[in-house]
Amino acid sequence: MAKDEFKEFKLVGTRPDRPDGLDKVTGRARYGADISAPGMLWAAVLRSPHAHARIVKIDTSKAEALSGVKAVITRADFPTGLTGEDWNLQENTMAGERALYDGHAVAAVAATSKLRAEEAVRLIEVEYEVLPHVIDVDDAIKPDAPVIREGAADATVPEGMPPNVVRYMEFGRGDVEAGFAEADLVMEKTYKTEATHQGYIEPHACMGQMGADGKGEMWVCTQGQWFIRKMCAAVLGLETSQLRVTPSEIGGGFGGKTTIFMEPLSLALSKKAGGKPVKLVMSRSEVLRATGPTASASMDVKIGMKKDGTITGARAEFRMQGGAFPGSPVDMALYCCFAPYKLENVEHIGYDVLANRPKCAAYRAPGSPMGAFAVESLLDEMCRELDVDPLEMRLKNAVREGDTASYGPKYGSIGLVETLEATKAHPNLSIPLGPNQGRGIAAGYWFNHNGETSVSLAISEDGTAQVSVGTPDIGGSRASIALMTAETLGIPYEDVRVNVVETGALGVNEPTHGSRATFASGKAAVVAAGHAITEMCKRAANEWGIDPEAVEWVDGAAQPAGDNAGKFPPMTIAEIAGKMGSTGGPISGHHESVPEGVGASFGCHVVDVEVDPETGRTTILRYLVVQDAGRAIHPAYVEGQYQGGAAQGIGWALNEAYIYGEDGRLQNSVFLDYRVPVASDLPMIDTVIVEVPNPGHPYGVRGVGETGITPPLPAIANAIQEATGARLCDLPMSPPKVLAAIKAKGG
């Protein structure tokens, strides 16, 4: 199914070397912590050891007295009077009256060396009054739970709700009870998922500089330099345009680097230290304790199904905690959980709940994996009960173009049916399984996203092109954007250089998130290239003395459009570019928009597992990802997204979880204990790129980054049931839990 070549395209769909490959295999690529500056100071942060505590007193005098210490800051150094999400960001950057989670920043130091800064942090004395804390979402939603913050609830929360519910939602259509009445089987179950971390290998790192004049600069590993600028400006009370933010290469983000955690500290320290640049690099432990993992979830799902597999009604009630601040992705989880299915009767209820944990951040298809775990698990059990093939059930209920999604909007062109058919046809499904082995199937969904996008393109004097984009390249987007630009201009791929630029160079861009970089920056680059082509046709027309309308652009050259236009040999991009100075000046194109035409993406995963009945350990034998890409611009990096999403989902399903002690402290804040999948845990991950082109993008792109993490959680649970007869409704499905489940059913 994966087509590496489209007849109509020369470059789109090919697999050239990525432009940043050489830098990244030689160690030359510069990431967040790889830059230094003259006079630079190092920062270190003091963090709360308590899950919830009143900060009675902070004494920084000993730290300040240490030789080499240039600045110490606490919340007292930040502006006051912020509200809403600005206040949340400031409070999360540096605790105010209370520390709200284990790892919450309390003070920060800048000194002449890293070791000196760390010494100084140890000299800061903080007096805490420890308060009761709450960690689990089901505990946090109890009416008598410790209150994280009075008055945090927004207007959506009806009166009388428990105090930690800060947002409430309820939506749906039809009559769900009538739907259940129509069904031959109605099942209802509760599922839980624990918080997991994006686990990017590069810890957050930045170098900030801020003068007394309010002008500043920052080098930072981020998915979005404009978000960093906006948020730092808000937290510190700066004028946005006075801060220039340059993105480093980024060592993974998966949503976790779309916001700020410690970046304003480097600027505030720099300002207090007289404008010296301040480098701040998190340790792994700080990353796990104090950046944004995903939410944990507790979810009730009820579904009605007819004997033939038709879904007659569906209800989801999800509770999610996203840490000590509003913002868990419970809304997204609800939007996505039933999205693959055509439903007349559907009801969604959601609670966003506070707990004493770090402020959650986006993690690859935020919310969708949890919702899929609940819904796709229950659907699988119902198929078993009714003896319906799970793939046929999904095909029978699959949404198609024109259908109304479970969460409201009408679907445009989508490729779920094609994805399910491609799954059905895959040879992995006919491989026989042995004892203690099982096969699981699940579907998944992500909307994909557009967002503010600004791109500029300039033709160089030799006819090559440079493209400035605002979306950091995390997984090969320079390559995909170069391919589309070169295809549009009719020039070689190598003649296009795509640069990820700083905030001073373009209009506002949203981050590389929502699977949008190749869709949105790519689309804008194609439009910008079109503007440059129009200009180059005009230059040729002027030289030929014909109407610009009579010139067309073919294979990287202007040529008369037909015999009536006149007889002139094609004028190449290099010829036109070579004389731009005397024909009207620089030739460029730019485009700014929130690009319309987002194409949603569905996927279906099939996993074969073997479960050791004596230890409960699950081994992944085989793994298949089938997903609609719209069109794969660079198929190798599309496969990479599918494989990477699956691997993260496998980790979430089997190993990964935030483990808290009774004291509310995170117990597994290093990679040894927060165990992500390693090479020996996984098999090769098979991929099928389904291509139902998105009519909203010039080359059919949908976006491929996120859907792939959605199906693994339920697919593996379904496979484990097939292998053992035991149904796991609580992640992670670690060996002790699987063993207990096997024993509980008398296996």
Partner 1 sequence: MSKVHVTTSVNGDEVEFLADPRETLLDCLRDHIGLTGSKEGCGTGDCGACSVTLDGALVCSCLVLGVEADGKRVETIEGMADGAELHPLQRKFIEHAALQCGFCTPGILVAAKKLLETNPNPTEEEVRYWLAGNLCRCTGYDKIIRAVMDAAAELRQEAA
Give residues in contact with partner 1 (CB under 8 A).
15, 17-18, 20-31, 33-34, 36, 113-115, 198-203, 249-254, 281, 283-284, 474-476, 634, 636-637, 639-640, 643-644, 646-648, 670-672, 676-682, 684-685
CB 729 within 8 A of CB 737: no
Name which of 264 and 651 has its Cβ closer to partner 1.
Answer: 651
What the block records as the tokens of 123 is 């000299």
Name which of 230 and 478 has its Cβ closer to partner 1.
Answer: 478
CA distance 478 to 469: 9
HEC letters along 487-531: HHHCCCHHHEEEEECCCCCCCCCCCCCCCCHHHHHHHHHHHHHHH
Least distance in angstroms from the C-beta of 639 to partner 1: 8
Strand partners, 133: none
Least distance in angstroms from the C-beta of 346 to partner 1: 33
User: What crossing angle do the helices spanning 225-236 and 263-272 adopt, rounded to 10°?
Assistant: 50
Least distance in angstroms from the C-beta of 421 to partner 1: 24
What the block records as the tokens of 184 is 């031959």
CA distance 636 to 70: 49
CB 682 within 8 A of CB 662: no
Name which of 25 and 744 has its Cβ closer to partner 1.
Answer: 25
Least distance in angstroms from the C-beta of 159 to partner 1: 44
Measured between alpha carbons, how far is residue 326 from residues 86, 359, 360, 483, 559 in Å? Answer: 12, 8, 9, 40, 58
Name which of 288 and 388 has its Cβ closer to partner 1.
Answer: 288
Least distance in angstroms from the C-beta of 55 to partner 1: 28
Identify the three-state secondary structure at position 48.
Answer: coil
Name which of 271 and 675 has its Cβ closer to partner 1.
Answer: 675
- For residue 40, give the nearest of 273, 225, 246, 212 by alpha carbon: 273
Least distance in angstroms from the C-beta of 254 to partner 1: 7
Starting from the edge strand earliest in sequence, which strands make up the sheet with 125-130, in order?
A: 98-99, 53-59, 125-130
- For residue 423, give the nearest of 602, 600, 681 by alpha carbon: 602
Least distance in angstroms from the C-beta of 572 to partner 1: 30
- Residues near 84 by beta carbon (within 8 Å), at least 6 away in sequence: none
Measured between alpha carbons, how far is residue 254 from residues 288, 292, 483, 605 in Å? Answer: 14, 11, 23, 20
Least distance in angstroms from the C-beta of 19 to partner 1: 10
Name which of 392 and 681 has its Cβ closer to partner 1.
Answer: 681
DSSP state of 25: H
Name which of 515 and 724 has its Cβ closer to partner 1.
Answer: 515
Name which of 249 and 380 has its Cβ closer to partner 1.
Answer: 249
Least distance in angstroms from the C-beta of 485 to partner 1: 19
What the block records as the tokens of 58 is 């902070």
CB 204 within 8 A of CB 279: no
Name which of 26 and 83 has its Cβ closer to partner 1.
Answer: 26
DSSP state of 32: G
Name which of 155 and 684 has its Cβ closer to partner 1.
Answer: 684
CA distance 646 to 715: 10
Name which of 539 and 634 has its Cβ closer to partner 1.
Answer: 634
- For residue 371, give the nearest of 332, 412, 406 by alpha carbon: 332
- For residue 554, give the nearest of 568, 570, 543 by alpha carbon: 570
Least distance in angstroms from the C-beta of 652 to partner 1: 12
Name which of 164 and 707 has its Cβ closer to partner 1.
Answer: 707
CB 581 within 8 A of CB 400: no
Sort 524 into a burial class: Cβ within 10 Å, 0-12 / 13-18 / 19+: buried
Least distance in angstroms from the C-beta of 678 to partner 1: 4
Question: Number of H helices and number of E strands within the chain?
Answer: 20, 26
Least distance in angstroms from the C-beta of 580 to partner 1: 33
Least distance in angstroms from the C-beta of 205 to partner 1: 9
Name which of 558 and 606 has its Cβ closer to partner 1.
Answer: 606
- For residue 94, give the nearest of 247, 214, 260 by alpha carbon: 260
